[in-house]
Chain A
Amino acid sequence: MHSETRLILGGLTTLAVATAALVVLPYITIADSAPAPGLKPYTPTQLRGRDQYIQHGCVYCHSQQPRARAFAPDAKRGWGRATVAGDYAYDDPPLLGTMRTGPDLMNIGARQPSDQWHLGHLFQPRAYVPGSIMPAYPFLFDMRDSAEPGETVVTLPPGTVPEGKVVVARPAALDLVAYLKSLDRSYPALAADQ
């Protein structure tokens, strides 16, 4: 090979073909999918919680994309129907995930609507799910002798914290739980193959 111009142009052409297939065509066809009927925009609190979800890297262990029945028994595990592009209309970016070290969370809000469960589980997952390998997030909470009025006290299973101590949720924890509870795509999707 003698010409660097031909080399570089050739290399960029091949990349252009790939970009057309994986970026441009999806951009044309699915970038602006209309919100699925039944999907509500996030509230400001939920959006702050979504930011917590991103910054603590929940996406590295939890997917948000139940798969079709023909593919995997996700629906039978209670994770919900296969999602469609319109389910992510308000997600920027969508947090599909590539690992299931923990369960899929696309419908965790429908599956587990209790604030107290979520808060306690974030504080110490193993107090709720024996053998869980999810990290504990004690830095989202304060452990004190008593709570101030207006603060959210977390009710924990006995023995989780020393006697006489109360666990108070910080705003970040409350936001995160608000986001987790908003994860509910249990409405019907027109295009779903279920």
Chain B
Amino acid sequence: MSPLAILMSAFILSIVGLGFFIWSQRAHLTDPSTEGSEVIFAAGEIGTPEEPAAPSGATHPAADADDAELAARARADASTAPLVFFFYCCAFVWLLVASAAGLTASIKLHAPDWLTAEAWLSFGRIRTVHLNAVAYGWAPMAGLGTALFVIPRLLKTELVGGRYALLGAALWNAALIAGLGSLAYGISDGLEWLEIPWQIDLLFVAGGALIGLPLILTLRRRQVAHLYVSVWYMGCALFWFPVLFLVANFPGLHHGIEQATMNWWFGHNVLGLFYTPLALASIYYFLPKVIGRPIQSYNLSLLGFWGLAFFYGQVGGHHLIGGPVPGWMVTLSIVQSMMMILPVAAFTANQHLTLKGNLAALRDSPTLRFMCLGGLMYTASSVQGSFEALRSMNAITHFTHYTVAHAHLGLYGFVSLVFFGAMYFVIPRITGRDWPWPRMISAHFWLASIGIAIYFVSLTIGGWLQGRAMLDESRGFMESVLLTLPYLKARSVGGAMMALGHVIFAAHFVRLLIARGARRTAAGPFATAAEGI
């Protein structure tokens, strides 16, 4: 089979498959009814915002809402509270570990003689600790914790089998501690994103399976006929990740250069088919919930979901552009990268239409602020990624800090901001306490958003200039190194602001936990949600 034939057939298969799936899964594609998107509200609740993170008094329980449904939701919250609390505590710890490691690595790039006495503090190791603490610590703990909170609400039932997830989370975190310890000590499998030794990966597999089990058990007990869009994303993410992780880490299976293609199939898909769906699912739930209005177009969200599922999986090959891999594979990835504009546009239009006329809520709602900025960054990083994959752009930006900036726009600007927003919403619900210092939320928001802005802009410019210098044979290689220095220093400034924001976030959480007399008083049925902790 010629490369062109493979390419064309994959392309046509994707398009036909996408059409077929949307056709087969649609309820009434042309039906203007928004019934499906109203499933997140109780009867009579539409028009009532729910925002536990807003300063007291900004939200009231809906007067007209069905009391039985609200009570059922409170029971759903209560059923997940101890579990989500554990996930979030771990997320806080890994967020701080990852921030410290990342900031250290960043400073080392412009101060290479700082802290050189210890091997575990050297750039190559502390950078790897940073990546793995984010990839297997902060992001999954925050994302899965949020998913476990949202899923029972969406299925209108209590969580079934929470004990398995608790055991799974314990195993997962034990694995991560062992994994980061190995990396710091100098034991590594040598593949980016897959550094943790495969022996430890077995623990992740067991832990991940146990965390996923309650999803299946709860799905079987669901009290709703309709599965809301967030369930599609979260459900598929919980099936995609184990497949990715198992195939990628299977010892002895991969050989030679094929390991490199597998490496970027995993490295890119763990972003697009695990963190991204978890974060998008959070936006699809919390954004309409906070403003009290169903999402605008259910069919657009269908297109967004299946578009992501079809195109995203194949985009990873562009990481190997110009490398010793088959040319058709890189081309295929570039084509599918461009196709990603379709689902991204669908999501963006949907978000914009839903928010229209409700922007005032941004002032009162911390959740909404983080979510909206995060959603915008999803659009920005996806569109940037699509164009970055094109040969003309990729030739310049490949091998440079530009790629690092792009990765942080996606995983921080989008995914992490969305998870921050979700946590500000969920924590008052699961602890039964208000955030004590609303100003700390603002401080966190501005430090995070200005920090990532400085980080992204400086590293994007620096990386672009670096790439241009490397392609110009009349300029020595050292020129491409020296010209990045001011931008690397600016990155440390941005990174320090982000890290400070995280310290404030964590301190605020601790203050909430130890605050006496800060119990929620005005939330009606929710006050009982977390007595169990």
Contact = CB atoms under 8 A, between A and B. Distances in A.
Interface of A: 1-4, 6-8, 10-15, 17-19, 21-23, 25-27, 29-33, 54-61, 63, 65, 67-68, 71-73, 76-77, 82-85, 87-89, 91-103, 125-126, 129, 131-139
Contacts of A77: 473, 477
Given A26-B257, A94-B259, A133-B481, A11 B240 contact: yes
A4 B184 CA distance: 41
Closest A-B pairs by Cβ, 9 of them: A57-B124, A18-B313, A73-B473, A11-B236, A55-B186, A22-B265, A100-B399, A31-B258, A54-B190
A26 B306 contact: no
B478 A2 contact: no
B276 interface: no
Given A6-B25, A30-B257, A129-B478, A19 B313 contact: yes
A87 B324 contact: yes
Contacts of A25: 6, 326, 329
Contacts of A131: 478, 481-482
Contacts of B258: 23, 26-27, 30-31
Given A26-B257, A29-B326, A92-B255, A73 B471 contact: yes
Given A56-B125, A73-B473, A98-B319, A1 B116 contact: no
Interface string B1-14: 00000100010011
Contacts of B306: 10, 14
Contact of B256 (A19, A31, A98): A31
Contacts, number: 258
Interface of B: 6, 10, 13-14, 17, 21, 24-25, 27, 36, 108-110, 112-113, 116-119, 122-125, 127-128, 186-192, 219, 225-227, 231-232, 235-236, 239-240, 243-244, 247, 254-265, 269, 273, 302, 306, 309-310, 312-314, 316-317, 319-320, 322-326, 329, 332-333, 395, 398-401, 403-404, 470-473, 477-478, 480-482, 485, 488
A102 B112 CA distance: 13
A82 B320 CA distance: 13
A93 B117 contact: no
A54 B117 contact: no
Contact of A1 (B27, B188, B485, B488): B27
A36 to B, nearest CB: 10
Given A4-B227, A12-B243, A99-B400, A135 B219 contact: no
A82 B490 CA distance: 35
B105 to A, nearest CB: 9
26 contacts: A1-B25, A7-B231, A14-B17, A17-B13, A17-B17, A18-B269, A18-B314, A21-B10, A22-B265, A22-B316, A22-B329, A25-B6, A25-B326, A31-B255, A54-B188, A56-B119, A73-B472, A77-B477, A82-B322, A100-B400, A100-B480, A101-B481, A126-B112, A126-B113, A136-B116, A137-B122
B273 A15 contact: yes
B188 to A, nearest CB: 6
A101 B25 contact: no
Given A10-B306, A67-B322, A96-B320, A76 B232 contact: no
Contacts of A61: 123-124
A103 B110 contact: no
Contact of A65 (B113, B190, B239, B323): B323
Which one of A22, A60, A77, A82 has the greatest number of beta carbons of chain B within 10 Å? Answer: A22
A134 B109 CA distance: 8
A15 B125 contact: no
Contact of B124 (A4, A22, A56, A84): A56
B427 to A, nearest CB: 29
Say what secondary structure dominates the interface of chain B.
helix
A136 B112 contact: yes
Given A65-B324, A73-B471, A96-B320, A33 B257 contact: yes
A129 B482 CA distance: 12
B235 A21 contact: no
Nearest to A29: B326
Contacts of A10: 21, 24-25, 306, 309
Nearest to B129: A57
Contacts of B109: 101, 133
A95 B324 contact: no
B122 A57 contact: yes
Contact of A21 (B17, B314, B322): B314
A22 B257 contact: no
Contacts of A1: 25, 27, 36, 226-227, 232, 302
B403 A23 contact: no
Contacts of B269: 15, 18
A40 B326 CA distance: 24
B112 A132 contact: yes
A169 to B, nearest CB: 15
Contacts of B14: 17
B473 A76 contact: yes
A71 B399 contact: no
A23 B127 contact: no
Contacts of A139: 116-119, 122
A125 B416 CA distance: 36
Given A23-B261, A56-B119, A7 B25 contact: yes
Nearest to A103: B477
Nearest to B269: A18
Which one of B24, B36, B323 has the greatest number of beta carbons of chain A within 10 Å? Answer: B323
B240 A15 contact: yes
A125 B24 CA distance: 61
Contact of A15 (B17, B25, B313, B332): B313
A11 to B, nearest CB: 4
A176 to B, nearest CB: 12
Nearest to B186: A55
Contacts of A94: 256-257, 259-260
